[in-house]
Amino acid sequence: MTDFIRVFIPLFFIIVFLTAFFGTSFIVSKRIGKNPNVLPKDDSAYGLIGRYFKYTLFFIFIYTVLLFIFPEDISNSFKINLPEDIIFKYIGIALLILSLILILIAQFQMKNSWRIGIDEDLKTELITTGLFNYSRNPIFLGILASLIGLFLTLPTLISLSFLIISNILIQIQIRLEEEFLLKQHDKVYLQYKAKVRRFL
């Protein structure tokens, strides 16, 4: 199991970055004629959230690559002992796989409305069908599920820190997006918000 996890986790996050971030960004940019990554690069609170989220993703990627190179050192550094460790590892692997499927389906269903950040230049369609009929934020739900999966598969204080920090940043980002969507779609968004929960 240790050898499998050593290979699986880095490979999983490489696939996530190549498909869910770079791949989808490339496809959507070709469709809409602009970069869908619209996170600001200024010193505003919103810009700071985006920057911290990018840093967190970068460090997650580095951490998982180091796991492949130094499996024993990474697995045992700041380790948290979970009861029935092997069961949690299987649950973690299942969550990782499920999270990628969830993210890719949600991105596909968003089509040209998918953005990294808040696009104030173009009015995007409010997607309320498919996975969005059950969760207002299935992509963020998938990201959190992947980080829970990472922690269960690799239970260390570092992986737990990634989960906690990412959850805080996601919670703030969601609320910023909700304010923006309310301005864009007004009563339609209020009705949708009343019907569908933020996560599940």
pLDDT at 3: 86
Listed in sequence order, the DSSP H helices in the chain are: 2-16, 24-32, 45-69, 71-76, 85-110, 138-153, 157-195
pLDDT at 122: 81
pLDDT at 38: 92
How far apart CA 103 and CA 116 sit, in angstroms, is: 13
Q: In the chain, how long is the greatest CA-to-CA distance?
A: 54
- How far are the Cα atoms of 27, 91, 142, 181 from residue 33, in angstroms, in the given order? 10, 40, 27, 22
Place of tokens 């864009």: 184
Residue 94, token pair as written in the block: 């299942």
Which domains occur in the chain, in start order? 2-195 (1.20.120.1630)
pLDDT at 57: 93
Q: What is the pLDDT along the chain (200 residues), one digit of tens a residue?
A: 778 999 999 999 999 999 999 999 999 999 999 999 999 888 888 899 999 999 999 999 999 999 999 999 999 999 999 887 799 999 999 999 999 999 999 999 999 999 999 998 888 899 999 999 999 999 999 999 999 999 999 999 999 999 999 999 999 999 999 999 999 999 999 999 999 999 99
pLDDT at 2: 79
Nearest alpha-carbon partner for 197 in 182, 183, 179, 178: 178
How far apart CA 99 and CA 139 sit, in angstroms, is: 9
DSSP, collapsed to helix, strand or coil, labels residue 62 as helix
pLDDT at 137: 97
How far apart CA 77 and CA 157 sit, in angstroms, is: 8
How far apart CA 59 and CA 56 sit, in angstroms, is: 5
